[in-house]
Amino acid sequence: MPKLTIDGVTVTAPEGATILDAARSLNVDVPTLCWYPTLPTVGNCRICLVSVEGNPKLVAACATQAAEGMIVTTESVAAVKNRQGVLSLLLERYPAEDIPEGGYRNEFEQLVRRYDVPATRRSGMPLRTGDERDDDPIIQHDMSTCILCTRCVRACEDIQVVGVLDVGNRGDHTEIIVGADGNPEHAGCTWCGECVRVCPTGAIHDIIPMAVRAANGQMVDHMRSKDLPPVDRNVRSVCPYCGVGCQIDLQVRDEKVVHVRSPWIEENTPNNGSTCVKGRFGTDFVQHQDRLLKPLMRRGWSKRDGRWVFDATEHARRGWQRRGGPWDNVQEEAHEKKRRPKTNPLNTSPTGMDSLGDPRDRVATPKDWYEPFREATWEEVMELTAQELVRLRDTRGPESLAVFQSAKCSNEENYLLQRMFRGGLGTNNVDHCTRLCHSSSVSAMQRAMNTSAASGSMREVEKESDVIFILGANTTESHPVFGAAIKRAVKRGAKLIVADPRKIELAARAHIHLQSVPGTDVALLNAMLNHILARGMEDKAFIAARTHDFDKVREAVKPYTPERAETITSVPADLIRQAAEWYARGPRSATLWAMGLTQHATGTDIVASLLNLLLATGMIGRWGAAMIPIRGQNNVQGASDVGAIPMVYTDYQPVTDPAIRHMFVSTWGVPDERIPLQVGLKVTQIVQETSPVRGMYIMGENPILSDPEVSHAEHWFRELEFLAVQDLFLTETARYADVVLPGASFAEKTGTFVNTERRIQLSKKAIDPPGNSRGDLEIIIDLSNRVGLPTPFKGSAEVMDEIARVTPSWRGVSHARLDGNGGLQYPVPHAEHPGTEFLFDDRFPTKDGKATFVGVEFLPPAELPDEEYPFMLNTGRQMYHWHTGTMTRRSFALDAREPGPIVELNPADAEEMGVGEGDEVVVSSRRGEIRISVRLSKRVARKQVFVPMHYREAAVNLLTNPELDPYAHIPEFKVCAVSVAKVRAQSSEVREPRTLATQAGD
C-alpha cells in the first residue's frame, strides 16, 4: 500500500487508490466536477489537477493512482491557476450573469466563488443546448447551464443501467441528448431522477408540483427544483412505498415537504441514495387537498343519556343503507365509461398539466363521499370507538372484534395496535396485508426452516452472487432500486435466470427466461430438481449435514422430467435443464421471489418446491447465496415481526404457548386469561359470511379494493355493526365507516420500518400532521387507555424499548442506535451487536438446527380458461402506482405518468378481436366485470392479460378468484379465467359515470 504526502500530511492509501481517494481520506477537499463517487472516471473536466513534486505537469487527482513517496500539493499556484482557467472557460458558455451577487446556487457556481473567478461571460459564444424535455411534468432540462461533465450520462448508464442519456455531436456542438429522438419514453426512461441528483448545475432538474414560496417571497404554484431557495430543514426519512426501504431526505420549507433529496451516495443506506420515481417524486400526496383534517362521524350517531346511539332515520330518508352513501359502489363504477384518458399517453410523449389537466385534482375524493359524515371532535370519535369496541367485546365476545393493521405504518404503531386488541380487547383476530402477499412464503419457510424473513442482503446479490434466480417478481417496476442493483450485478457478470409468465424488463435482460404458464411453477421447479438429481449436481454434504427428509423430495420430483414439465409449463425442456445446471453450479446462487409465486391457491406448495431446490443445492447460508422473498410494502416485514398476525406475538412467538402469553400479559399488566391461547382469524377468514366478526378497526388499509372478490368484500363491510377506519384519506373502505380517524403520513411521525432484508431503520418526523389530524401512535395510545389497557408511552422511542424487551432478536435495538445510520439488520440480540447481514451459515433456527424438505405435487390453478372465459388474467403492480392508489394517485408526478386503468393485451390477440391501443374492452370473469382501456403489449403471452391492481374505477379484484391456499389462506390473485370483449360505441348496457363527473380536469 503506497505511502504518500498530501499538503504536508502523510497517508497510506489502499492499493489502486487515486490521489483523490487519498486526499478525501484526509478530508482534503480537491475540487471535482466530472468525477462522482462510484461512477466510472472519465477525467475530462481537469478541475481536479494537482501538483506532484518532480512532475513537470499537473496531474488529474481523480485519474492518477497514488504512488509510493508522492508529494502532492492540492492548492499550488499552478493548480489554482489551472482551476481558474477551467472555470473561466466553462463560464464562456454558461449564463454567468444569473449567478447571484456574491453567492451561488449549485456545485459549479460554488467553485466559481471558491476560486474567485469573475462571474461574467466575455465571449460571444452561444449558451449550450441539448435535448430539453420541455413538456415533461417531472424532469426538465435547461441545457444552457450544462457543463458537459457527463455525470448524468454515466449515472443513467452505470447506476440505473438504463442508458437514456448520451453525448451527441462534436466540438462546439457537443451536447447531452435524450435517446435517439429526444423522447425519454422511447429511450426507456424510468423517471428515477438519478440524473437530477448527480447534475452539478441543475441543468437537469425536477419540477416541484406544489405551491412554494420563491426566493423573492412570492408564492408560485410550481417551481423548478433548481430554483428552490434554501429549505428550513432536511429530515432523514424512509420511503413510504416498497420493501427496499430507501432512505430519503425530506426538504421542508414553510412547514411543507416541498422536495425529496437523496442521501449522499457514499452514506450507508440500503439504496446508496438512489430512489425510484415513487420515492423521489411521489411524496406530495402528503400535502394533497384530500387529506382528512378532522375526525369524521357518520350522521345518525348521537349521544343520549351518556351513550352513543345510532339513528338510521336520516340515512333512510336519503335512501342510503345504514353504512352507505350517495355513491356508485366499486362494482357499479367498473361498468362505467371511463372519462379519464383512454390510454396511457406515455407511448407518445410525456404529458403534464397542459394535455391532461392537473393530475392533482383528477382523483380527488368525490365530494359526495363526505355526505354521510359530519365533522366531529377527537373526544367524540374516541369515545364512540371505545364504547363500541368494548360493547362488542362484552356482549358478543372478543372474537366479534378484529383489526387490520398496516404494512405502511411503523413497527411501534403496529406493536401497540396488536397490544391493544390482544391485551385490551382479548382477541387474536389481528392481521394485515401480509396475508395477501407473502403469507405463503412465510408458511413454507416456517415449515422448512422455521424462519419468516430473508436470509441475506440486497448488497450481496449485487456484489457477490454468481447466479441470480428470480421468480414471479417484476423487480424493476415493483422494487426499482433493487431492480437496478440486479441489473448492475448482470453487468458485473452474474447470470440471470428469470421465471415469469410476462416478458418483463428483467426477463428481456435475462440469460434464461423461463416463460411458464401462470400457476405451473411447482412443475417447473420440481423438474429443475429432477434434472439436478439426474446429473448428480445436488450438494450431498449440505443435504446430509443440514437437512431432513431429502428422500421424500427425491421421490416427489421423480415423475417431473423436464419433458413432462414442458407439457405443463410450456417452457422448453432444454431451457429447464440449462437453468437447473446454472443454478446448481453457482457457486453462489441467489434466490429471489415475490407475489408471482405466492398469490396462488397452491402458493405454499410453490414456495416449498423452490425451497427444496435451494436446500438440495445448498444455496443458502453463504455471502452471495441469499434467499430473499422480496417484500412488497415498506413495513410488511416489520408489521409481521412485531406481531400483527393472528398466530404469533413479536418475533413469531406463538400465541398458543402459555409461557409466552404469560410473558406478554405480565409486560402489559393484564391477567393471563384475557388473551386466548387460540390462533386468531386471518384477513381472508374475517371477511366471510360465516365469520363471527361484527366490529372492525382498520388502520391504513383499504381492503375493499385489495381483497379478492370486491363485491363480496364491499357487502361484508356494509353489514358490520361497527367500523372504525384510521387513514389519511376517505378511501373506498373508509366511506363505509362509522368513524374516520385522520392519521399521520410517514412524513409526520417518527418510527421504525423493516425492509426486505431485515433492516430496521429510523424514519423521523419532518412536519406536524395537518389540521386536526393526529399521529397514529397518539391515536392508539389514547384508545388503548380508553379500552382499559394501561398504555403510558410518551413517544415511539419508548414503545421501541418495550418491543426490544419482549422480542429476543430485537433486544439490542433502540432509536438511539438507529439514528443517523443505515439501520440494523436483525437479529440484534444485545446492545453492542452490530446486526446480522446473512443468516444460517451453520444452522437453521429449528430444534436440531436442520431444515426439512417437503415434497410437493403440482396442482393446476383453481380456474383454467375455457370456451366462455378463454384468457388467463394476471394482476400486479405498475411502476408508477402503489396498491390501491390511495397515495400514488394523489401524487402529481405519478398520476401524470400513469393516469388511468389499462389492460395489457397481446397485439396478436387484439388484432383477432379487432381492438387497438386505447380501445375500451370489458374484461369479465365468473365473479364480475370491468370496463377498461387496452394497452397493446408483447410482455403478455397470447391468451393472457394483465390488469394492474391500483384502480377503483376498474378494480381488478372484482374479477380475481377468492380460492384460498389451505395453509396460508392467501387468495389466488394471480390466475383466473376471463373473457375480453370489445365495447361498442354508445353501448346501451354501459352507463355514464356519476361520481367521476364531479372531478376537475375530466
Site for ligand FES in 771-810 (CB under 6 A): none
- Can you state the angle between helices 107-114 and 77-91, rounded to 10 degrees? 130
Q: Which residue has the cell 423521489?
A: 280
Q: Which residues pair with 238 in a beta bridge?
A: 247
Q: How far is the CB of 77 from ligand FES (least distance, A)?
A: 19
- The site partner of 894 among ligand SF4, ligand FES, none (C-beta below 5 to 8 Å per kind) is none
- The yes or no reply on residue 813 touching ligand SF4 (CB under 6 A) is no
Binding partner of 271, given ligand SF4, ligand FES, none, CB within 5-8 angstroms per partner class: ligand SF4
Contact between 155 and ligand FES per CB under 6 A: no
750: β partners: none
Q: Which is nearer to ligand FES, 49 or 159 (CB)?
A: 49
Q: Which does 34 bind (CB under 5 to 8 A by kind): ligand FES, ligand SF4, none?
A: ligand FES
Q: Is 85 in the site for ligand FES (CB under 6 A)?
A: no
Contact segment (CB under 6 A) with ligand SF4 among 182-190, 497-505, 592-600, 729-737 equals 182-190
Chosen residue from 45, 199, 497, 954 binding ligand FES by CB under 6 A: 45
Binding residue for ligand SF4 (CB under 6 A) from 94, 191, 652, 967?
191
CB of 63 to ligand FES, least distance (A): 6
Contact criterion met (CB below 8 Å) for 699 and 743: yes
Nearest approach, Cβ of 128 to ligand SF4 (angstroms)? 18
Site string for ligand FES, 7-36 (x = CB under 6 A): -------------------------xxxx-
Nearest residue to 386 via CA among 861, 793, 782: 782
- Which residues in 49-68 contact ligand FES (CB under 6 A)? 60, 62
Smallest distance from ligand FES to CB 624, Å: 33
The DSSP bridge pattern shows strands 49-52 and 71-73 to be: antiparallel
Give the E-state strand segments of 881-938 in sequence order: 902-905, 920-924, 929-936
246 binds ligand SF4 (CB under 6 A): yes
Q: Is the peptide bond before 827 cis (omega within 30 degrees of 0)?
A: yes
Q: Which does 279 bind (CB under 5 to 8 A by kind): ligand FES, ligand SF4, none?
A: ligand SF4
48 binding partner (options ligand SF4, ligand FES, none; Cβ < 5 to 8 Å by kind): ligand FES
Residue that has been written with the C-alpha cell 392519521 in this structure? 743
Q: Which of residues 137-176 bind ligand SF4 (CB under 6 A)?
A: 139, 155-156, 160, 162, 164-165
List, in sequence order, every residue forming a beta bridge with 752; answer none if it has no partner: 762
Rounded Cα distance between 445 and 607, Å, is 8
Give whichever of 86 and 242 is closer to ligand SF4, judged by the CB atom.
242
Write the CB contacts of 785 (distance below 8 Å, at least 6 apart in sequence): 791
Distance of alpha carbon 282 from alpha carbon 277, whole angstroms: 7
Kindly give, in sequence order, each residue whose CB lies less than 8 Å from that of residue 899, ignoring residues fewer than 6 positions away.
340, 341, 344, 345, 356, 359, 362
Smaller CB separation from ligand SF4, 277 or 968: 277
923 scored as a contact of ligand SF4 (CB under 6 A):
no
Please give the residues from 554 up to 583 whose contact with ligand FES meets the rule CB under 6 A.
Answer: none
* CB of 644 vs ligand FES, minimal distance in Å: 49
Question: What pairs with residue 806 in β-bridges?
Answer: none
Between residues 86 and 192, which has the closer beta carbon with respect to ligand FES? 86
Q: Cell match 409461557: residue?
A: 659
**According to CB under 6 A, which one of 18, 51, 190, 807 is a site residue for ligand SF4?**
190
Pick from 4, 22, 23, 48: which binds ligand FES (CB under 6 A)?
Answer: 48
Choices 364-372, 406-414, 475-483, 643-651 (CB under 6 A): range interacting with ligand SF4: 475-483
Residue 893 makes contact with ligand SF4 by CB under 6 A: no
Least distance between ligand SF4 and beta carbon 737 (Å): 28
Are 211 and 289 in contact, with CB atoms under 8 Å apart? no
CB of 149 to ligand FES, least distance (A): 7
Q: Does 590 bind ligand SF4 (CB under 6 A)?
A: no
Ramachandran region, residue 647 (left: φ > 0; alpha: ψ -120 to 50; beta: rest):
alpha
Nearer to ligand FES, 60 or 728 (CB): 60
Per-residue burial over 50-63, b if 16 or more Cβ lie within 10 Å, else e, is bbbeeeeebbbbbb
**Nearest CA among 479, 487, 497 for reference residue 462:** 487
Residues in the chain: 1002
Q: Please give the C-alpha separations between residue 814 and each of 575, 698, 752, 761, 805, in angstroms, as whole numbers.
A: 49, 28, 10, 10, 10
Return d(Cα 612, Cα 551) in angstroms, integer: 11
| Partner in contact with 278, chosen from ligand FES, ligand SF4, none, beta carbon below 5 to 8 Å by kind | ligand SF4
Residue 248 Cβ, how far from ligand SF4 at the closest point, in Å? 7
Answer yes or no: are the C-beta atoms of 932 and 954 closer than 8 Å.
Answer: yes
* Contact stretch for ligand FES (CB under 6 A) within 41-49, 323-331, 355-363, 468-476: 41-49
Cβ atoms of 239 and 753 closer than 8 Å: no
Q: Residue 810 burial (CB < 10 Å; 0-12/13-18/19+)?
A: buried
Nearest-angstrom CA–CA distance, 916 and 934? 7
Q: Distance between CA atoms of 546 and 555, rounded to whole angstroms?
A: 19
47 counts as binding ligand FES under rule CB under 6 A? yes
Q: Which three cell numbers stand for residue 323?
A: 353504512
Residues of this chain that interact with ligand FES (CB under 6 A) are 32-35, 43-48, 60, 62
Residues of this chain that interact with ligand SF4 (CB under 6 A) are 139, 155-156, 160, 162, 164-165, 184, 189-195, 239, 241-242, 244-246, 271, 275-276, 278-279, 479-481
